[in-house]
């Protein structure tokens, strides 16, 4: 059964600290990591998961709060033992930049760690066209062109039984993200601000909590999960703002929580 497990992404109190953007989608036999923000490897291990469970990594974009732990994962994948290669997906425009990670952090004196990224994984590109279908551990997924300052991929995972989990990535309001989220059981959507000007929302590409609610409502999703809050102290108000325009259940992304489509209640639940 399709499940979403939150490793990091949004604290729930001003003093809380934890992993940056990172989530696990439970597949047929194992796990798919979506984003590898700082702290994601530690959070994964603290959650009791074995490295052997990981089937693929999908990175929405290469800003540090979503990708910096890729090298930590690569180091762990090649030392003290070399683990079987798995696919890592990034927007195809960013493949060359990902390879440059190795130029900075490769260890020439260790044969298995000359180029940790390339030696650990099979690097594959996300087309971001909303059409190209990929497969990871029994799930089909597609990527969509989010509106952000670097190539950024909204994601849509579909299980054979029809369950859908979607991710906005970092983005401004745009139709491809709406398409990615259409009728999703769970929509993990960035809500960076409560209020912001056009430079932040359109120029750089982010959403307010209210805009996240509007997207969720327009896409007819069943549950909205707000993440990527710029200030964890704004969490309570973010829930209120999103719930004013989205009639379904709304929650903050909370590290350690697992959300199952089968547990999603019908629309009309409001904030919770």
Q: Domains plus CATH for the chain?
A: 3-263 (3.60.15.10)
Residues in Cβ contact with 150 at an 8 Å cutoff, skipping those fewer than 6 apart: 61, 62, 63, 94
Phi-psi label, residue 147: left if phi above 0, alpha if psi -120 to 50, beta otherwise: beta
**Mean pLDDT for all residues in the chain:** 91
Lowest mean pLDDT of 3-7, 16-20, 59-63, name the range. 16-20
- pLDDT at residue number 14: 44
Question: Binning pLDDT at 50, 70 and 90, where does residue 13 land?
Answer: very low
| pLDDT per position as a tens digit, 49-66 | 999 999 999 999 999 999
Cα atoms in the Cβ-side hemisphere of radius 13 Å centred on 202: 3
Query: In Å, what is the CA distance from 176 to each residue of 3, 142, 159?
Result: 23, 11, 20
pLDDT category at 260 given cuts 50, 70, 90 is: confident
Report yes or no: 250 and 270 within 8 Å, Cβ to Cβ: yes
**Alpha carbon distance 62, 97 (integer Å):** 8
């Amino acid at each position: 059964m399709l499940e979403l497990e939150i490793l990091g992404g949004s604290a729930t109190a001003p003093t809380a600290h934890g992993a940056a953007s990172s989530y696990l989608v439970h597949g047929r036999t194992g796990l798919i990591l979506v984003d590898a923000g700082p702290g994601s490897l530690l959070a994964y291990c603290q959650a009791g998961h074995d490295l052997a469970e990981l089937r693929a990594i999908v990175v929405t974009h290469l800003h540090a709060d979503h990708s910096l732990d890729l090298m930590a994962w690569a180091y762990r994948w090649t030392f003290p033992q070399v683990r079987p290669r798995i696919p890592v997906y990034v927007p195809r425009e960013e493949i060359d930049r990902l390879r440059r990670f190795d130029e900075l952090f490769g260890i020439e004196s260790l044969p298995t760690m000359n180029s940790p990224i390339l030696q650990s994984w099979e690097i594959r590109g996300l087309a971001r066209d909303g059409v190209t279908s990929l497969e990871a551990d029994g799930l089909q997924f597609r990527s969509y062109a989010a509106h952000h300052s670097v190539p950024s991929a909204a994601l849509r995972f579909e299980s054979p039984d029809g369950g859908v989990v979607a991710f906005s990535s970092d983005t401004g309001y745009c139709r491809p993200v709406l398409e990615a989220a259409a009728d999703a059981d769970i929509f993990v959507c960035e809500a960076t601000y409560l209020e912001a000007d056009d430079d932040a929302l359109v120029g750089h590409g982010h959403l307010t909590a209210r805009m996240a609610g509007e997207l969720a409502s327009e896409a007819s999703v069943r549950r909205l999960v707000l993440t990527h809050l710029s200030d964890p102290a704004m969490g309570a108000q973010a829930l209120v703002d999103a719930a004013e325009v989205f009639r379904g259940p709304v929650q903050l992304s909370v590290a350690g929580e697992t959300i199952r489509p089968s547990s999603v209640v019908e629309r009309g639940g409001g904030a919770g």
